[in-house]
Amino acid sequence: MATLNDNALCSLDDVKESLGIASSDTSYDNLIIRKINQASQAIENYCERSFKAADYVEDINGTDTDEITLKQRPINGDITLSYRGTVENLDNFYDVNSNYYFADTTAGIVKLLFNANGKWSAWRVTYNAGYTTIPSDLAEACADLAAYYVMNADGNINVQERQEGQRRVRYYPGIQGFRNLCVQLGIDQVIDSYANWPLISQ
């Protein structure tokens, strides 16, 4: 029997409800769990980040910047900023006084009151980031994606339809690429809003 991975973004019951399968019917549970794991990993790969709260240690090169953008967000609690000593590749980090930096916890950015220089991963940030409870819109997007994977578990992308109350959902054939699939399912804006992509000036 498959088990939900630690990074699962939705529950078994949520996907079963989306598929119109009674919670008491366990005959599809193994398949659904596998597809939840698949959908969760696909979303994390696309967004280039993890979502469940966890501890992280990031080593970063100094680039004469007064901001350090972390790979994970939102930041939970305090962070520790450290600087590597002058000996290359030696693991001798020294903590920076917390009066010289602060964190934008929502954006996952450490703002410095000085410019960070130095190569060879000169700076280290130790922190906890992610969600203790997955946001409802992200969980729903994952449930929709997992339901799609269940409906197309044989690998044949055929036209599929299902009814959700007053809403009829149709899956279209010939889907090319993950984002196109998200567009077809109507979850692209939700997933894009959580992606770790750089902002591009217009």
Q: What is the pLDDT of residues 4-58, one digit of tens each?
A: 999 999 999 999 999 999 999 999 999 999 999 999 999 999 999 999 999 999 9
Single residue among 82, 108, 129 that ends a domain in this structure: 129
C-alpha dist (Å) from residue 95 to 17, 69, 99, 101, 122: 50, 18, 11, 12, 12
Eight-state DSSP code of residue 104: E
Q: Tell me: pLDDT of 88 over 70.
A: no
Q: Which two tokens stand for residue 195?
A: 């992606």
Domain count, the chain: 2
Is 6 domain-assigned?
A: no
Per-residue pLDDT of 125-178, as tens digits, reads: 999 999 999 999 999 999 999 999 999 887 544 445 555 555 566 655 555 689
Angstrom distance (rounded) from CA 47 to CA 190 = 11
Single residue among 80, 109, 129 that ends a domain in this structure: 129
Is 160 domain-assigned?
A: yes
Single residue among 129, 144, 162 that ends a domain in this structure: 129
Beta bridge partners of 169: 162
Is 198 domain-assigned?
A: no
pLDDT at 92: 83
pLDDT at 35: 97
User: Amino acid identity, residue 172?
Assistant: Y
Asked if 61 and 122 sit in the same domain, the reply is yes
User: Amino acid identity, residue 186?
Assistant: G
Angstrom distance (rounded) from CA 108 to CA 27 = 42
pLDDT at 201: 38
Other Cβ atoms closer than 10 A to 80: 13
Q: What three-state secondary structure class fits 111? A: strand
- Structural domain boundaries enclosing 61: 54-129
Using the CB atoms, write b or e for 6-39: b if 16+ within 10 Å: ebbbbebebbbebbebeeeeeebeeebbbbbbbb
